[in-house]
């Protein structure tokens, strides 16, 4: 079915209207026929069964009125039938136009729905991608901040740890003694040990000499020496196998270094 509907309107101005008199037209036509027969320059070919005089009589007879009347009737029938045909054509055109409009509306709705659905799918896909991109970006920023914070956190913890350790060392008198015993218990066997301590720790170490002897053999000679250059908590042990620095600050440095190394390994 074509989607194109052509319409044609004929507008007549009332001032230009003309009345067609079919009686006058038919009379004029009959007069022309009679004149044609009457003044024919050459004889007409007579068809068998038709008398020319009869034709002339028919044209001149009163039956012309009947012919006119029949012609009018026939013309009216033709006009009526033409009007009916025109109305039928108009009705069919109107019906087709309504059908086309309805189809166009349905097609428009369907196309609109499909277009809206596609548009919604595109927007949803774009939204999902935006959320995924934002999630990835947040994870990157989180890991970056975490990597930046870990060293700072380790430094802060170790600073606090060092301060707390020194504070504890001030109150804990036997801290140096524990450090010395720990080193002696792990060193190779030696007959003589020279222990150098600070002036602050010297008296305490002399008073607790037996606790040192309990770690090593009674046959081992231990000498405790005061070293004015040492700070509180600093201690050094000399033996046949070597020199061991068991100072508190050295132990803290070793511990802090080990913690930093572990923190780097974990972050990697």
Who has greater pLDDT, 79 or 134? 134
Mean pLDDT for the stretch of residues 47-69: 52
Q: What is the pLDDT of residues 194-214, one digit of tens each?
A: 999 999 889 988 888 888 866
25 lies in the same domain as 109: yes
Confidence (pLDDT) at 142: 78
Confidence (pLDDT) at 60: 52
Q: How many domains does the chain have?
A: 2
Mean pLDDT for the stretch of residues 252-260: 74
Residue where one domain finishes, among candidates 120, 139, 161: 120
Confidence (pLDDT) at 37: 47
182 lies in the same domain as 261: yes
* Strand ranges in the chain using DSSP code E only, listed in sequence order: 192-197, 221-226, 235-239, 242-245
Q: How far is CA 218 from the centre of its chain?
A: 82
**Per-residue confidence band for 23, with pLDDT thresholds at 50, 70 and 90:** low
182 lies in the same domain as 246: yes
Mean pLDDT for the stretch of residues 9-15: 45
**Boundaries of domain holding 244:** 172-267
Specify if 36 maps to a domain.
yes
115 lies in the same domain as 176: no
183 lies in the same domain as 97: no
* Strand ranges in 79-159 using DSSP code E only, listed in sequence order: none
pLDDT exceeds 90 at position 167? no
Specify if 63 maps to a domain.
yes
pLDDT exceeds 60 at position 12? no
Q: What is the pLDDT of residues 87-119, one digit of tens each?
A: 777 787 777 777 777 766 676 666 666 777 788
**Would you report the helix, strand and coil content of the chain in percent, each value rounded to 5?**
70, 10, 25
Specify if 85 maps to a domain.
yes
pLDDT averaged over every residue in the chain: 70
CATH code of the domain containing 183: 3.30.2320.30
187 lies in the same domain as 107: no
Specify if 163 maps to a domain.
no
Ranges 45-54, 87-96, 236-245: which has the least confidence: 45-54
- By the 8 A CB rule, do 177 and 212 touch? yes
Mean pLDDT for the stretch of residues 167-190: 73
Specify if 152 maps to a domain.
no
Specify if 125 maps to a domain.
no
176 lies in the same domain as 253: yes
Specify if 133 maps to a domain.
no
Residue where one domain finishes, among candidates 89, 104, 120: 120
Specify if 149 maps to a domain.
no
CA–CA separation, 19 vs 22, rounded Å?
A: 9
């Amino acid at each position: 079915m074509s989607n194109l509907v052509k319409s044609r309107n004929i507008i007549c101005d009332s001032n230009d209207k003309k009345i067609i008199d079919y009686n006058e037209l038919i009379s004029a036509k009959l007069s022309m026929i009679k004149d044609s027969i009457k003044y024919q320059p050459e004889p007409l070919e007579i068809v068998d069964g038709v008398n020319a005089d009869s034709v002339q009589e028919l044209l001149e007879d009163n039956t012309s009125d009947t012919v006119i009347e029949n012609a009018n009737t026939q013309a009216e029938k033709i006009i009526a039938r033409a009007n009916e045909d025109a109305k039928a054509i108009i009705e069919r055109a109107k019906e087709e136009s309504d059908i086309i409009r309805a189809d166009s509306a349905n097609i428009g709705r369907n196309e609109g729905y499909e277009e809206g659905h596609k548009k919604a799918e595109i927007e949803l896909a774009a939204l999902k991608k935006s959320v995924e991109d934002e999630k990835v970006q947040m994870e990157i920023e989180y890991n970056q901040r975490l990597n930046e914070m870990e060293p700072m956190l380790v430094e802060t913890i170790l600073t606090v740890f060092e301060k707390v350790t020194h504070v504890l060392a001030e109150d804990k008198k036997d801290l140096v003694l524990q450090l010395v015993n720990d080193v002696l218990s792990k060193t190779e066997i030696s007959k003589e040990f020279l222990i150098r301590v600070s002036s602050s720790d010297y008296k305490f170490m002399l008073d607790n000499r037996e606790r040192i002897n309990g770690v090593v053999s009674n046959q081992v000679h231990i000498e405790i020496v005061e070293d004015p250059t040492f700070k509180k908590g600093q201690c050094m042990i000399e033996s046949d196998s070597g020199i061991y620095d068991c100072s508190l600050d050295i132990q803290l440095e070793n511990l802090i270094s080990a913690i930093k190394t572990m923190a780097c390994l974990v972050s990697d």
